[in-house]
């Protein structure tokens, strides 16, 4: 339907969807309320933030780059959105979005104009955005204005069923799928990731394409920050720690190569959902008293999850992450 999975014909992309189905079946049989409307709504409302930053990260990694700043940009955008909340969602949402896009634009400038490698450039932004969030918030949470319609964005549901955060994530997902699969920009992104030098010789506007991807990644982090502030009732300058790891893990488990040049937006979505399901199951296990893991263990699990999928991806002899016919590859724009 809609051709979303036309190119997901190998184990790299099919495997992650199969894993999602297996995990859902296991959890639905083990836990009575796992498929309850409340849990499904809560799961997707919360994980929409991780889905957004994973989608933005996917485009960046497809170019062969990386964006380590997304977690800090989420925190900064949530603080800005909280300060703008008295003016309603019609002001707070653009404010948070533009904050994220501005951070992405700075990343793009440093990478394309100052010739700083993405790892260092986005690491600097990660530290700078976190510091700016703490300065603006005076090292504390910034309460939103509950009398405006800002919190309704995070707490109300369309037709009483679908959270607004899920609607936003779905729109971004469809937009990015269209960009990657149906536009010249998508082909340029994959071309640059596949061979940047060849892309230059082919006349691909490398710097402009890279700038667009980093701005889009920042914009996704900005939207996640708005959802965070609206859903939790406060701008959170200390939130988002380690979120970049979740985004990278989601992208990589979906089959996108860290070296760039190949990737899938639907599989990235599946990777984010799979990682979210793992934490959701751990919460159910905690509730049953079978295990007792603190929130700090989430960072351990994220790190282990990322390490496993990177090791699998680096195993060129295996078929799980090998490029095969039908997977999006670099093409001449």
Q: Mind listing the domains of the chain with CATH numbers?
A: 11-314 (1.10.3470)
Q: What is the DSSP string of 269-316?
A: HHHHHHHHHHHHHHHHHHHHTS----TTHHHHHHHHHHHHHHHHHH-T
Q: What would the 3-class secondary structure string for 36-99 be?
A: CHHHHHHHHHHHHHHHHHHHHHHHHHHCCCCCCCHHHHHHHHHHHHHHHHHHCHHHHHHHHHHH
Token digits of residue 36:
């309850």
Token digits of residue 4:
């979303």
Contact 188, 333 (CB under 8 A): yes
CA distance 114 to 280: 42
Q: What is the DSSP string of 87-138?
A: G-HHHHHHHHHHHHHHHHHHHHHHHHTS---HHHHHHHHHHHHHHHHHHHHT
Backbone angles phi, psi at 260, to 5 degrees: 90, 175
CA distance 165 to 306: 26
Please tell me the predicted confidence (pLDDT) of residue 97.
Answer: 97
pTM (two decimals): 0.88
Token digits of residue 107:
């990343």
- Low pLDDT (below 70) residues in the chain: 1-13, 287-296, 298, 309, 312-333
Q: What is the DSSP string of 172-201?
A: HHHHHHHHHHHSHHHHHHHHHHH-HHHHHH
CA distance 205 to 173: 24
- Give the CA distances from residue 313 to residues 245, 258, 310, 320, in Å, rounded to whole numbers and listed in that order: 16, 9, 5, 7
Q: Work out the number of other CB atoms within 10 angstroms of the CB of residue 52.
A: 30
CA distance 295 to 307: 19
- Give the CA distances from residue 206 to residues 111, 211, 260, in Å, rounded to whole numbers and listed in that order: 11, 9, 14
Please tell me the predicted confidence (pLDDT) of residue 290.
Answer: 60
Q: pLDDT by residue (tens digit) across 233-243?
A: 999 999 998 89
């Amino acid at each position: 339907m809609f051709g979303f999975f036309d190119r997901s014909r190998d184990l790299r992309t099919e495997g992650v969807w199969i894993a999602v189905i297996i995990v859902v079946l296991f959890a639905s049989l083990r836990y009575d309320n796992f498929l309850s409307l409340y849990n499904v709504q809560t799961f997707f409302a919360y994980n929409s933030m991780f889905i957004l930053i994973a989608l933005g990260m996917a485009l960046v990694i497809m170019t062969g780059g990386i964006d380590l700043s997304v977690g800090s940009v989420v925190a900064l955008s949530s603080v800005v959105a909280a300060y703008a909340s008295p003016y309603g969602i019609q002001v707070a949402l653009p404010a948070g979005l533009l904050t994220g896009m501005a951070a992405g634009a700075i990343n793009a400038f440093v990478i394309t104009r100052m010739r700083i490698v993405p790892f260092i450039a986005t690491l600097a932004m990660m530290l700078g955005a976190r510091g700016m969030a703490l300065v603006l918030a005076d090292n504390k949470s910034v309460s939103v204005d509950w009398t405006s319609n800002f919190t309704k964005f995070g707490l109300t549901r369309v037709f009483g069923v679908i959270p607004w955060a899920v609607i936003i994530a779905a729109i971004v997902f469809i937009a990015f799928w269209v960009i990657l699969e149906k536009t010249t920009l998508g082909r340029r992104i994959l071309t640059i990731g596949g061979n940047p030098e060849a892309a230059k010789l082919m006349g691909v506007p490398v710097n402009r394409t890279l700038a667009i991807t980093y701005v889009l990644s920042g914009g996704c982090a900005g939207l996640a920050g708005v959802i965070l502030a609206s859903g939790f009732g406060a701008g959170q300058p200390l939130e988002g720690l380690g979120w970049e790891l979740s985004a990278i893990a989601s992208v990589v488990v979906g089959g996108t190569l860290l070296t760039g040049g190949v990737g899938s937006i639907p599989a990235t979505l599946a990777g984010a959902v799979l990682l979210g399901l793992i934490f959701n199951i751990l919460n159910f296990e905690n509730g049953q008293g079978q295990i007792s893991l603190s929130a700090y263990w989430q960072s351990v699990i994220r790190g282990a999850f990322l390490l496993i999928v990177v090791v699998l991806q680096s195993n060129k002899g295996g078929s799980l992450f090998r490029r095969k016919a039908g997977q999006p590859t670099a093409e001449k724009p």
